[in-house]
Amino acid sequence: MTNFAEEQHGSVMWALVMIVPACGMVFFAGNVPLAGIRLTLIVSATILFAAAAMAWSGFHYLFSQTGIEIRTLGFRVRSISAADIRSYAVDRWNVIGGYGIRGLGNRRAYVWGNSGVRIKTTQGEVFLGHSRPEKIIRDLDALTNHQRREVTPGP
The Cα 89–Cα 86 span in angstroms is 11
- N- to C-terminal Cα distance for the chain? 42
At a CB cut-off of 8 Å and minimum separation 6, what does 63 contact?
Answer: 3, 4, 5, 6, 7, 139, 140, 142, 143
What proportion of the chain, given as a percentage, has pLDDT over 70?
96
- Among candidates 137, 8, 14, 139, which has minimal Cα distance to 73? 8
For 14-52, the pLDDT digits (tens) are 999 999 999 999 999 999 999 999 999 999 999 999 999
3-state SS assignment for residue 2: coil
pLDDT score at 151: 60
